[in-house]
Amino acid sequence: MLFALLCTDKPGGLQLRLDTRPDHLAYLNDLNAKGILKIAGPFLGEDGKPTGTMAIVKAETLEEAKAISEADPYAKAGLFSNVEIKAYNWVINNPEA
């Protein structure tokens, strides 16, 4: 099952995001190597700077998706003001369909 992780940065979190980015990317690369991560990237503000993160992950349950989200170095560093996790059905352009 797929889940969308919709994460909103705290106001003024850009420096924390930049400082934590190498660990965050290493975490995502590990998820990708394990076949868990399907897509990921930042939301951008009008100024083109990151304001949050969206990731699609493969997990058996909502609880597992939540654990994946909570293990992200950005989450551990306290970057996010809000995280929403929703079941997701990848219909168009899904390479596994």
User: Can you give the residue ranges of every domain in the chain?
Assistant: 2-88
Kindly state which CATH superfamily the domain 2-88 is placed in.
Dimeric alpha+beta barrel (3.30.70.1060)
| pTM greater than the 0.85 cutoff | yes
- Distance between CA atoms of residues 91 and 78, nearest Å: 33
Contact 9, 49 (CB under 8 A): no
Give residue 23's pLDDT.
98
Give residue 11's pLDDT.
96
- Distance between CA atoms of residues 92 and 97, nearest Å: 9
User: pLDDT tens-digit profile of 9-63?
Assistant: 999 999 999 999 999 999 999 999 999 999 999 999 999 999 999 999 999 999 9
* Residue 96 pLDDT exceeds 90: no
Tell me the pLDDT band of 7, cut-offs 50, 70 and 90: very high
Least Cα distance to 79 among 12, 13, 31, 19 occurs for 13
Tell me the pLDDT band of 97, cut-offs 50, 70 and 90: confident
Angle at 11 between CA 10 and CA 15, to 5 degrees: 85
Tell me the pLDDT band of 87, cut-offs 50, 70 and 90: very high
- Residue 34 tokens read as 């394990």
